[in-house]
A and B are shown apart, each in its own frame.
Chain A
Amino acid sequence: DVKVTQSSRYLVKRTGEKVFLECVQDMDHENMFWYRQDPGLGLRLIYFSYDVKMKEKGDIPEGYSVSREKKERFSLILESASTNQTSMYLCASSWDQNEQFFGPGTRLTVL
């Protein structure tokens, strides 16, 4: 079974803090994705990566950056957290043109 894990289920940070969200997949997938999910807005793509050290902006990249130094790991970075970044963050991975497999999510609260 494909496993996608995220470093934290719940996270509380203060405004202005630097936040790292980690995602690891164990199936050698090429593609990895970061989404945020908000009520009424659904899932929105923040960034994705289709190979090591490669990254592409999604629909809402502002305020975020990413890092993919190893194939299995994709990190989402909030350089200076703000209250409007309070959300559920979901990581996913996939191989080529196939279904995406999701992690359990990280619920981030920025105070």
Chain B
Amino acid sequence: SQELEQSPQSLIVQEGKNLTINCTSSKTLYGLYWYKQKYGEGLIFLMMLQKGGEEKSHEKITAKLDEKKQQSSLHITASQPSHAGIYLCGADRRGRIGNQFYFGTGTSLTVIP
């Protein structure tokens, strides 16, 4: 079973609209990482959240980690075609050798001009 569930699996929005992607775990998250992947390419690091209630923003992207540290959301304001791609959340597998991550299956975002 997937340890990190992402929703929705895919999203198609009109340029200028806001959108939210969710990442949920059944376990407490020790570190939650958001990445963006352009189709057919590697992952680009966006943000890391560690503390319950933490919120970070970069340009028009805001990520939050809930107080229980089991759910994170990624919110994009006034979406643009450059936001298109696959968004993945990854979490720190605390307790294992090395900083191993496990990842959600990703959310595919299409922005229509």
Contact = CB atoms under 8 A, between A and B. Distances in A.
Nearest to B34: A99
Interface string B40-77: 11111100100000000000000000000000000000
Contacts, number: 58
B42 A94 contact: no
Interface residues of A, number: 28
Contacts of A56: 97-98
Nearest to A58: B100
Interface residues of B, number: 24
Interface of A: 4, 31, 33, 40-43, 45, 48-50, 56, 58, 88, 90, 92, 94, 96-105, 107
Contacts of B31: 97
Interface of A is mostly: strand
A99 B48 CA distance: 7
A42 B2 contact: yes
B106 A104 contact: no
Nearest to A43: B103
A8 to B, nearest CB: 13
